[in-house]
Structure 1
Amino acid sequence: MRLSQKARLLSAILVPMVALAACSGGGNGGGSGGGAAGDEQVNLTVWSWDGTVAQAVPGFQAANPNIKVKVVNAGSSTDEYEALDNAIQAGSGVPDLAMFEYFAVPYFAIPGKLADLAGFGVENFKKDYVQAAWNDVTVNGKVYALPSDYGPSAMFYNTATLKKAGVDKPPATWDEYYEDAKKIRALGGDHYIAQDTGDLFFLLSLIWQAGGHPFTVNGTKVHIDFTDAGTTKAVAFWQKMLDEGLLNTKITGWSDDWNRALNEGTLATQTMGGWLTSTLPERAPKSAGDFRVAPMPQWKQGDKVGAENGGSSFGIPAAAEHKDAAFKFLEYFTHGGGLSARVDAGAFVPNTSVLESDAFQGKANKYFGDQKVGAVLAEASETVGSGWQYPPFFEWARSIYGDIASPLYTTGKGSLAEILQQWKQRCVQYGNEQGFEVD
């Protein structure tokens, strides 16, 4: 009997899974040319676009003289994933460790391209990570990576701009945010509470915080629905902000115009990952002392619910040659002795041992008016809403979102709800073509 197209495509995913599992030395991910014990020289290759990882290498090599670590920037995100896929397919050039944004972990884990870390005792580390970050590296009940940096959503606000608009405190709820947006817009010119030209990760963090669960993943089955109550509430709110002209839809994030607006104070707030604390001083030096950090505004007064916006992890490819040695370094820089060097270099990590420390929470930040921003971000890390999932093909999905959303921001035609439905249709088609069962 002939296989259906879906069955053939699914087989294309599952066959490599079996093959890679075999070359990984079994489901525990260990015992494949480890080289972590004895005097045998091991050369590890680590792919990372996070510059703080290299800070942990000297200490690790001093403690493990038989293991040499080479950190290679194989390209940010998409470039690295493509290079890794090509190396796996070619059967050569596969690194011993690779960096993955949280949403990319399922893409590599489900078809067996990442080693299951159960054999290394990773469950013992679970208690030292915030729950949401641990969930991010867990796929179908198995851990495939260790969290390395984190992006709890927080609101960065310019006190001078708010004061100029007659707002004496940051908005604690989204209703207050809406009212403050009108006051800031009344200043005229280019004054807005924020900008948006189709920021997918902000929109998803808004949905996440509202309790929306647009993606449900169970193995190779994926359900996509942008009509649940939480998603509908978040989308309707942001649509109102757009419809009433309360957002700058001309400035794209990370552009020179964005930097200029932050410097001049015409953008009053930015709701982004906590990692913005490290880059905002470089982008808006003239606003030093004006910016502060607050939790995301809440949907209901008194609630304490947050979301994520970014974050990364490191996993061991199933085809890696030195898994034992690779895990030894992985543990060292994400959880062990190399963690402090990375934190000192600016890494924002989801380890509770760091987030709950006096050194992190009690340090005053001069740029943010001597505010102890660590305490705010530590709380934001602990209050991330539960149950969020990304589809295993999200890397592709996010790459097409901008083109679908662009007409709304350039012509004003359409709505966010319509954009999400178009995006869903494309995702369903693509996911099924890749052998997943998507509806």
Structure 2
Amino acid sequence: MRLSRKLKLLCAALAPMLALTACSGGSSTAGAEGADSGEKVKITVWSWDGTVERAVPGFQAAHPNITVEVVNAGSSQDEYKALDNAIQAGSGVPDLVMFEYFAVPYFAVPGKLTDLGELGADKLKSDYVPAAWNDVTVNGKVYALPSDYGPSAMFYNEATLKKAGIDEPPATWDEYYEAAKKIRKLGDDYYIAQDTGDIFFLLSLIWQAGGRPFKVDGTKVHIDFSDPGTTKAVAFWQRMLDEGLINTKITGWSDDWNRALNDGTLATQTMGGWLTSTLPERAPEAKGDFKVALMPQWEKGQKVGAANGGSSFGIPAAAEHKEAAFAFLEYFTHGDGLQTRVDAGAFVPNLSVLENEAFTGKPNEYFGDQKVGAVLAEATEIVPSDWQFPPFFEYARSIYGDLASPYYTSGQGSLAEILEQWRQRCIQYGNEQGFQVD
């Protein structure tokens, strides 16, 4: 799940990334204990995903020699910093760690993660949607297993749309634009969406439009926001903002956001599919009004998606019990523990789940008994799998909000100018960390 973009600068106190030596806490395969060797071991798992702990009892029953301790080491940025500190100190390194997809290269490139292919992960590839597998693959090697996914989808308040004279959710971005104008006519508080500088939403628009602003080849990184897909997506959203069709005062995850979702004045929210798990708590009064649809398309008849968030788990190169850690990792991301997590609300990119009638055919009471699983399964399977994040995206996202703030608060500049400033800052930072960035 994607968390706040207001981050501390992760690497401020760290040595340049590529200057760190690869951690060698043993061979690339596990130690002699083995997952089922009979020797008693304890593995430590760092995770902010509450569904992972649900899988522990079943795993320990099947592997009585392995004890699993799940520790919440903080939100993503805090966890990453703690992991880097433990690696540098040479002590306190956990056996299994949760990573947002874009953070995998940050730890994989300098050798801080175990190549899971050497533990047998490659045989699991066919059960994951290609885009999710791509997210955990760096330079041809798999360094994590996908655990949850955020296919972009449009959550829309059907009652508000009908109130504005819109009978069907907008299927294209042109229809979305026309719908936005109708919704604004309902009153000063009514908007089709809000945005106060969400880089993940903007990147999902770019991703879907065919833009590929980041290209990574080993330590070489190319950043360019001038390709046709990127410029099309940015120009569209700029038009929405320029014409006052987007609420730029309400910040996502705030109390005001909750109220607007609850009373229907915020008609849609295009986010990761994981919003299904939190929307009922944030907008209980809108129960039955909200529905889910694919993202609007750039061309009528298309079916192209994008992703917005999601997480995976990897094994640090310095972990002590790699085989035991991989046994648990396989159990809750692919094996018998997977369904336990799905039942607890995890949205996973496993084809064995997404193609199962038990998932796709289940009505969701909050969403008016819509079969939401079927929509999100389709949204997942249409995500293009060639998207790349730069290895230092954790830093990149931490500075985007500050660069975008003057525009969203006082109208200074434009999205294109913000992206150019962001590009220059990322190039400077990446080169300082030992990459070749242009």
TM range (shorter): over 0.9
Query: 1:296-375 residue pairs with structure 2 within 5 A?
Result: 296-375=295-374
Gap change, CA 1:433 and 1:285, over 3 Å in 2: same
How far did residue 225 of structure 1 move?
0.2
User: Normalising by structure 2, what TM-score?
Assistant: 0.95
- Which digits, 9 at most, give the CA deviation of each residue in 1:343-381, with x for residues without a partner? 111100000000110110000001101100000000000
- Counterpart of 1:425? 424
Q: May I ask how many residue pairs the two structures share in their alignment?
A: 425
Deviation at 1:14, TM superposition (A): 5.6
Change (3 A) 1:360 1:12: closer
Cα distance change of structure 1 residues 299 and 157 upon mapping to structure 2, 3 Å threshold: same
> Secondary structure, in 3 states, of the residue corresponding to 2:378?
helix
Q: How does 1:118-137 map to 2 (within 5 A)?
A: 118-137=117-136
Amino acid at match of 1:170: P
Report the counterpart of residue 50 of structure 2 in structure 1. Answer: 51
Question: Could you tell me whether the CA contact under 8 Å between 1:24 and 1:115 is conserved in 2?
Answer: no
Give the drift of 1:23.
3.0
Residue type at the aligned position of 1:73: N
1:388-409 deviations in Å (ceiling 9; x for gaps): 1000000011000000000111
1:16 corresponds to which letter in structure 2? T
The CA distance in 2 between the partners of 1:122 and 1:288, in whole Å, is 41
Gaps of 5+ in 1: 1-8
1:5 matched residue in structure 2: none
Q: CA deviation at 1:111?
A: 0.3
Partner-residue secondary structure (3-state), 1:166: coil
1: distance between equivalents of 2:215 and 2:249? 34
Equivalent residue runs for 1:1-400 within 5 Å: 13=18, 16-17=21-22, 20=23, 22-25=24-27, 29-400=28-399
CA distance in structure 2 between the partners assigned to 1:393 and 1:373 by the alignment:
34
Q: Residues 325-358 of structure 1: CA distance to partner in whole angstroms, max 9, x if unpaired?
A: 0000000000001001111111000000001101
Distance in 2 (alpha carbons) for counterparts of 1:254 and 1:296: 21
**Matched residue type, 2:265:** T
Contact 2:44 2:96 in 1 (8 A): yes
| Deviations 1:64-95 (CA, angstroms, capped at 9, x unpaired) | 01100000000010000000000000000000
Residue 15 of structure 1: CA displacement?
5.5
Structure 2 distance, partners of 1:380, 1:300, is 16
Deviation at 1:31, TM superposition (A): 2.7
Deviations 1:259-304 (A, max 9, x none): 0000000000000000000100000000000000000000000000
Identity fraction in percent: 78
**Alpha-carbon spacing, 1:217–1:247, altered in 2? closer, same or farther (3 Å):** same
- Cα distance in 2 between the residues matched to 1:93 and 1:153: 36
> Tell me, what secondary structure is at the counterpart of 1:23?
coil
Cα distance in structure 1, aligned partners of 2:163 and 2:17: 60
Shift of 1:34: 4.1
CA contact (8 A) 2:19 2:434 kept: no
Amino acid at match of 2:104: V
For residues 400 and 153 of structure 2, the distance between their equivalents in structure 1, rounded to whole angstroms, comes to: 23
The 8 Å contact of residues 33 and 39 in structure 2, kept in 1 or not, is answered as no
Report the Cα offset of residue 120 of structure 1: 1.7
Whether the aligned pair in 1 keeps the contact of 2:16 and 2:433 (CA below 8 Å) is no
Structure 1 residue 11 displacement after superposition: 9.0
**What whole-Å deviation, never above 9, does each CA across 1:302-332 have from its counterpart, x for those lacking one?**
0000000000000000000000100000000
Post-superposition CA distance 1:190-235 (Å, at most 9, x none): 1000000001100000000000000001111100000000000000
**Rounded Cα–Cα distance in structure 2 between residues aligned with 1:257 and 1:281:** 16
Q: Distance in 2 between matches of 1:11 and 1:246?
A: 43
CA RMSD after TM alignment? 1.3
Deviates more, 1:114-123 or 1:363-372: 114-123
Runs of 4+ in 1 over 3 A off after TM superposition: 9-12
